[in-house]
């Protein structure tokens, strides 16, 4: 039996998997973010439609919907920052939900 000589550039040590182990938590969070994004996107559309109804019926936007819209926008912004690797901390559901800064009750 003819066995070829071993390649000196290849180590005999155990080779890690195709991806660093530290990437798996981020991959998991990213997958959850994609699913969460789909749900929040529907919520944003609902806020838009409801605000239009408020404007048509009362000529005044709902302050509660305005705050929810701001929070949803902040959440989407945080998600995009995380997904583009601009920030290391994952937003909700891995950290607290963002709170609206405007407290106007017009």
Average pLDDT over residues 2-10: 54
Residue 40 pLDDT level (bands cut at 50, 70, 90) = very high
d(CA 84, CA 79): 9
Tokens standing for 83? 């997904």
At 49-104, the pLDDT tens digits run 999 999 999 878 899 999 999 999 999 999 999 888 888 888 888 888 888 886 55
Domains of the chain by residue range: 42-93
Tokens of 54: 């408020």
Note the pLDDT tens digit of each residue in 26-35.
Answer: 889 889 999 9
Phi, psi of 69 (to 5 degrees): -65, -40
Give the whole-angstrom CA distance, residue 78 versus residue 75. Answer: 5
Between 12 and 89, whose confidence is greater?
89
| C-alpha distances out from residue 73 to 18, 97, 100, 101, Å | 36, 11, 10, 12
pTM exceeding 0.85:
no
């Amino acid at each position: 039996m003819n066995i070829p000589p071993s390649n000196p550039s290849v180590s005999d040590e155990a080779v890690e998997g195709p991806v660093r182990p530290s990437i798996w938590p981020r991959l998991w969070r990213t997958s959850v973010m994609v699913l969460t994004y789909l749900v929040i996107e529907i919520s944003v559309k609902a806020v838009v439609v409801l605000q239009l109804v408020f404007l048509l019926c009362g000529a005044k936007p709902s302050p509660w919907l305005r705050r929810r819209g701001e929070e949803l926008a902040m959440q989407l912004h945080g998600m995009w920052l995380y997904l583009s690797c601009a920030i290391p901390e994952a937003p909700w559901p891995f950290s607290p939900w963002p709170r609206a800064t405007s407290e106007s009750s017009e």
